[in-house]
Chains A and B, each alone.
Chain A
Amino acid sequence: MTRFLDVRDLSVDFHTVTGTVHAVRNVSFYLDRGETLAILGESGSGKSVSSSAIMDLIDMPPGKITSGEIWFDGQDLLRMPASARREINGRRIAMIFQDPLSHLNPVYSVGWQIEEALTAHGADRATAKAEALRLVRRVGIPDPETSLQKYPHEFSGGQRQRLMIAMALALRPDLLIADEPTTALDVTVQAEVLALLKELQLETGMGVLIITHDLGVVAEIADRVAVMNGGAVVETGATHEVYRNPQHPYTARLIAAAPGKGEMHPEQPRREPVLSVRKVRKQFGQFTAVEDVSFDLMEGETLAIVGESGSGKSTVAKMLLRLEEPSGGQALWKGRDLFAMPPAELFKLRRDLQMVFQDPTQSLNPRMTVWQLITEAWVIHPEILPRDRWKARVAELLLQVGLKPEMASRYPHQFSGGQRQRIAIARALALEPKLIICDEAVSALDVSVQAQVIALLDDLRKRLGISYVFIAHDLPVVRDFADQVMVMQKGRVVELGPVAQVFDAPRAAYTQRLLAAGLDPDPDVQAERRKARLALA
């Protein structure tokens, strides 16, 4: 039988200076009307390239489609002239992307951009204007008339994705391709956007092809899933079936690596804290970013601070290191107030307190070798280690984070994202810190890599007695790693307690909402959660 969308034997190469990359190799999948297919894969798996091929969005050169057919509603797209494909784009197949801020043109109003989706296919301005208003209202943007005059930067991340959806659905396409549509969004917003997509799909009967790295998104929205690895589809089947009964070892590994399934840390008896934070406050002009935050952290303990964007969790971390000056409160490190400390003393203390950032690509100087990155700490704090022992210690640190000593002469760009985060951790360890503050340190990593980095941090905690302040928006990761969890909302602490209590018996309504909005990789659990969420709403 003929499928609505049928990708057959698709291969895409990229010719680069360093050689030819086979980004997509003999990929086949199909999608029927009204159905949702998820393409699941980690970075570099070829999932985005496959979908870009459907919309003729691959830059050629350097890209080249070397084999395959893309049948859409009875026609092979790859044999059509460019002008005919342009006609199909937007009208019959539409696409939404990750990071709607960069995918909307910053210099035109959102109204103009939505109207353009219509006028590009022949609608007149007046019709387009009326239709844009209807669409913006439909996707739930407050105050639609004035919103149309506004520019992308004036909206929140979730609203921008809603606007992208409005734009994509302007001409009621038969197929919507959604490339990581909720990856940059907060959990509660993610749930809302996915729910909106589902609703609109029921309204219009369109097929949805969703590209994601997140098993939770697959469980929430997809009927079927195609798992991609290294440019090839390794497994495809009904979502439920693939999750319960993975046939390919890669799928099994991916499912096993999904966080949030392990034993939670047992509650520890309270001892003398190493860090005692009291009534910390941060004011940016009139705006209160953090208010009345207090917690205790013991040696070898992990406190996770969770919250959505704008909750003030990163500001707390920056204040602890005085990267941001606090407006009030105390932070007692072994009995001495970090906030009242003169700079010279703080400088000495810096080696005890280290930070690992979200994006290792940005936090590692690209012009320094791994050796220079790690030994810089000892150049600044020469009392830690005499120069003749540097070599042995660098080798030891690299082994500790699971890298090889001979990698010391390489530059950051020669490593993968996960390896780079290991380098950042090795750099932090060089100072023999007592406390490491991780600001979304594993958020940018692929699931399998994420699991490895978390295991590394946990191992260091056990062996060296390091304490962590672990800032994250990803609840399953927190569940696996934290001893205590502090939930923040709008600069305030709404809940603080041992991990098992917060996850199994959350007290605050906000924590309950947060947990209900989180996506579980298990389609059955996710179905339950969807019900619970609807009940809460």
Chain B
Amino acid sequence: MHRFIRQRAIASLISLMLLVVAVFFLSRLTGDPAALYLPVEASEEMRQQFREVHGLNDPVLVQFGRYVSDLAQLNFGDSIRKARPAFEIVIEAFWWTLQLALITMALVTAAAIVLGSLAAFRAGGLFDRLATVSSLIGASAPDFWVAIVAIVVFSVGLGWVPTSGTGTLAHWILPIAVLFIRPFGLIVQVVRGAMITALSSAYVKTARAKGVKSQAIIFVHALRNAMLPVITVIGDQAAALLNGAVVIETIFGFPGVGKLMIDSILQRDFNVVLAAIMVTAMAIFLMNLLIDLAYSLLDPRIRH
């Protein structure tokens, strides 16, 4: 197991380094930050000075060398925009995103497993058909549209919840609800499919011949087997949320890492962009590791 984790860590480190190289050089192609941060009437001298301060005057390769050596000391550089360490800014934003992602995925997982399992138990029945239709609608609804409609209806129209920002519990309701819909629709479908396969398997027949109760057959015998493909999809969806739900965070003015990245890219705040990418990449790596561990916990055949 330790060997497995080490191998995974090395593989991830390599891809992380390639990512840093790619993002570093690509972001330099977006243009000169001096043109953005200084007023239009700023003199060439002032611009030159701005570049000097932020180390943008040196050849790109020299900048890259400096960046990598700083990075080796876990120094991600400062944000141009906010004149604060980039890492601090990213961690603050990431904490918001992490909470949002975890709460959403926990709700999605719990709801999808129950609904998908029940739909599979009487596949083809009325409940199954309702579940299938509603989950398909959920899986295919464009979330930016749902978000805007939700704001119009629940915030502007009914006034039940605030339109955007953070501060109270009520601020969380709409973002979570909107983010919930798509992964939920998708995972219900996956759970349903995996459960139908599991429930028609030979070991379920054995359990019935043993006189095991229906609930135990569904939630003990079938579900643990069905969880294997489900976990893969859960991981996938959670990774998408950890990356920052860019559109949703922007619409709801939610100070997460997705919004931070978009803002920083638009502002050519290179250090923040790089730090954000690395932090989310690390988080996704850790989550994939968790998924693999969950796999081996659920299935003894993988453990050996």
Q: Which residue of A lies closest to B225 (CB)?
A: A107
- Are B201's CB and A117's CB within 8 A? no
- Are A104's CB and B213's CB within 8 A? no
User: Which residues from chain A contact B47 at a C-beta distance below 8 Å?
Assistant: none
Given A107-B299, A151-B301; A94-B209 close (CB under 8 Å): yes
CB distance from B35 to the nearest CB of A (A): 59
Given A107-B298, A120-B216; A102-B202 close (CB under 8 Å): yes
Within 8 A of B (CB), among A443-460: none
Residue ranges of B at the interface with A (Cβ–Cβ < 8 Å): 200-203, 205-213, 216, 221, 224-225, 298-301, 304
CB distance from A225 to the nearest CB of B (A): 23
- Are A99's CB and B210's CB within 8 A? no
- Are A55's CB and B298's CB within 8 A? no
- Are A91's CB and B211's CB within 8 A? yes
Residue ranges of A at the interface with B (Cβ–Cβ < 8 Å): 55-57, 59, 86-91, 94-95, 97, 99, 102-109, 116-117, 120-121, 151, 153-154, 164, 167-168
Q: Compute how far the CA of A87 lies from the CA of B208 in the bound complex, rounded to whole angstroms.
A: 10
- Are B206's CB and A97's CB within 8 A? yes
* Besides the known contacts A121-B211, A153-B301, 12 further A-B residue pairs in the complex with CB atoms under 8 A apart: A57-B205, A59-B200, A86-B213, A89-B210, A102-B202, A103-B202, A107-B299, A109-B300, A116-B210, A120-B211, A120-B216, A153-B300
User: Which residues from chain B contact A105 at a C-beta distance below 8 Å?
Assistant: 203, 206-207, 221, 225
Q: Which residue of B lies closest to A106 (CB)?
A: B301
Q: Compute how far the CA of A107 lies from the CA of B221 in the bound complex, rounded to whole angstroms.
A: 9
Q: Compute how far the CA of A91 lies from the CA of B212 in the bound complex, rounded to whole angstroms.
A: 11
- Are B211's CB and A86's CB within 8 A? yes
Given A102-B203, A107-B298, A107-B299; A120-B213 close (CB under 8 Å): yes
User: Which residues from chain B contact A59 at a C-beta distance below 8 Å?
Assistant: 200
User: Which residues from chain B contact A153 at a C-beta distance below 8 Å?
Assistant: 300-301
Q: Compute how far the CA of A438 lies from the CA of B83 in the bound complex, rounded to whole angstroms.
A: 77
- Are A151's CB and B300's CB within 8 A? yes
Which of A88, A89, A106 sits near B299, CB closer than 8 Å? A106
- Are A106's CB and B210's CB within 8 A? no
CB-based closest 3 A-B pairs: A90-B211, A89-B211, A102-B202
Q: Compute how far the CA of A153 lies from the CA of B303 in the bound complex, rounded to whole angstroms.
A: 12
**Cross-chain pairs A/B with CB under 8 angstroms, 11 sampled:** A57-B209, A97-B202, A102-B201, A103-B206, A107-B224, A108-B224, A120-B216, A151-B300, A151-B301, A167-B210, A168-B209
Given A97-B205, A106-B203, A107-B298; A117-B224 close (CB under 8 Å): no
User: Which residues from chain A contact B212 at a C-beta distance below 8 Å?
Assistant: 86, 90, 116, 120
Given A99-B202, A151-B301; A106-B209 close (CB under 8 Å): no
- Are B211's CB and A88's CB within 8 A? yes
User: Which residues from chain B contact A154 at a C-beta distance below 8 Å?
Assistant: 304
User: Which residues from chain A contact B200 at a C-beta distance below 8 Å?
Assistant: 59
Given A86-B213, A89-B211, A120-B216; A104-B301 close (CB under 8 Å): no
Q: Which residue of B lies closest to A94 (CB)?
A: B209
CB distance from A468 to the nearest CB of B (A): 35
User: Which residues from chain B contact A94 at a C-beta distance below 8 Å?
Assistant: 209-210
Given A102-B201, A103-B202, A151-B300; A55-B225 close (CB under 8 Å): no
Given A102-B202, A104-B203; A117-B210 close (CB under 8 Å): yes
Q: Compute how far the CA of A168 lies from the CA of B202 in the bound complex, rounded to whole angstroms.
A: 15
- Are A107's CB and B300's CB within 8 A? yes
With most chain A CB atoms within 10 A of its CB, the pick from B212, B216, B225, B304 is B212
Q: Compute how far the CA of A212 lies from the CA of B21 in the bound complex, rounded to whole angstroms.
A: 66
Q: Which residue of A lies closest to B200 (CB)?
A: A59
- Are B209's CB and A89's CB within 8 A? yes
Q: Which residue of B lies closest to A90 (CB)?
A: B211
User: Which residues from chain A contact B202 at a C-beta distance below 8 Å?
Assistant: 97, 99, 102-103
Q: Which residue of A lies closest to B204 (CB)?
A: A105
Q: Compute how far the CA of A108 lies from the CA of B298 in the bound complex, rounded to whole angstroms.
A: 9
CB distance from A73 to the nearest CB of B (A): 16
Q: Compute how far the CA of A88 lies from the CA of B205 in the bound complex, rounded to whole angstroms.
A: 15
- Are B301's CB and A55's CB within 8 A? no
Q: Compute how far the CA of A94 lies from the CA of B210 in the bound complex, rounded to whole angstroms.
A: 7
Q: Which residue of B lies closest to A121 (CB)?
A: B211
Q: Which residue of A lies closest to B124 (CB)?
A: A61
- Are B209's CB and A90's CB within 8 A? yes
User: Which residues from chain A contact B203 at a C-beta distance below 8 Å?
Assistant: 102-106
CB distance from A27 to the nearest CB of B (A): 20
Which of A90, A106, A164 sits near B300, CB closer than 8 Å? A106
With most chain A CB atoms within 10 A of its CB, the pick from B206, B208, B221, B224 is B206
User: Which residues from chain B contact A116 at a C-beta distance below 8 Å?
Assistant: 207, 210, 212
- Are A95's CB and B209's CB within 8 A? yes
- Are B301's CB and A120's CB within 8 A? no
CB distance from A161 to the nearest CB of B (A): 12
Q: Which residue of B lies closest to A109 (CB)?
A: B300
User: Which residues from chain B contact A117 at a C-beta distance below 8 Å?
Assistant: 210-211
Q: Compute how far the CA of A87 lies from the CA of B213 in the bound complex, rounded to whole angstroms.
A: 9
Q: Compute how far the CA of A24 lies from the CA of B207 in the bound complex, rounded to whole angstroms.
A: 24
Q: Compute how far the CA of A462 lies from the CA of B217 in the bound complex, rounded to whole angstroms.
A: 56
User: Which residues from chain A contact B224 at a C-beta distance below 8 Å?
Assistant: 107-108
Q: Which residue of A lies closest to B301 (CB)?
A: A153
CB distance from B203 to the nearest CB of A (A): 4
- Are B225's CB and A120's CB within 8 A? no
Q: Compute how far the CA of A15 lies from the CA of B212 in the bound complex, rounded to whole angstroms.
A: 27
User: Which residues from chain B contact A90 at a C-beta distance below 8 Å?
Assistant: 209-212
User: Which residues from chain A contact B210 at a C-beta distance below 8 Å?
Assistant: 89-90, 94, 116-117, 120, 167
Q: Compute how far the CA of A314 lies from the CA of B210 in the bound complex, rounded to whole angstroms.
A: 37
User: Which residues from chain B contact A56 at a C-beta distance below 8 Å?
Assistant: 208
CB distance from B301 to the nearest CB of A (A): 5
Q: Compute how far the CA of A117 lies from the CA of B212 in the bound complex, rounded to whole angstroms.
A: 8
CB distance from A116 to the nearest CB of B (A): 7
- Are B205's CB and A103's CB within 8 A? yes
User: Which residues from chain B contact A91 at a C-beta distance below 8 Å?
Assistant: 211
Q: Compute how far the CA of A154 lies from the CA of B299 in the bound complex, rounded to whole angstroms.
A: 13
Q: Compute how far the CA of A167 lies from the CA of B137 in the bound complex, rounded to whole angstroms.
A: 45
Q: Compute how far the CA of A94 lies from the CA of B299 in the bound complex, rounded to whole angstroms.
A: 27
Q: Compute how far the CA of A154 lies from the CA of B304 in the bound complex, rounded to whole angstroms.
A: 10
CB distance from A84 to the nearest CB of B (A): 11
Q: Which residue of B lies closest to A112 (CB)?
A: B220
Q: Compute how far the CA of A55 lies from the CA of B211 in the bound complex, rounded to whole angstroms.
A: 9
CB distance from A315 to the nearest CB of B (A): 23
Q: Compute how far the CA of A105 lies from the CA of B204 in the bound complex, rounded to whole angstroms.
A: 8
- Are A87's CB and B211's CB within 8 A? yes
CB distance from A163 to the nearest CB of B (A): 11
Q: Compute how far the CA of A87 lies from the CA of B201 in the bound complex, rounded to whole angstroms.
A: 22
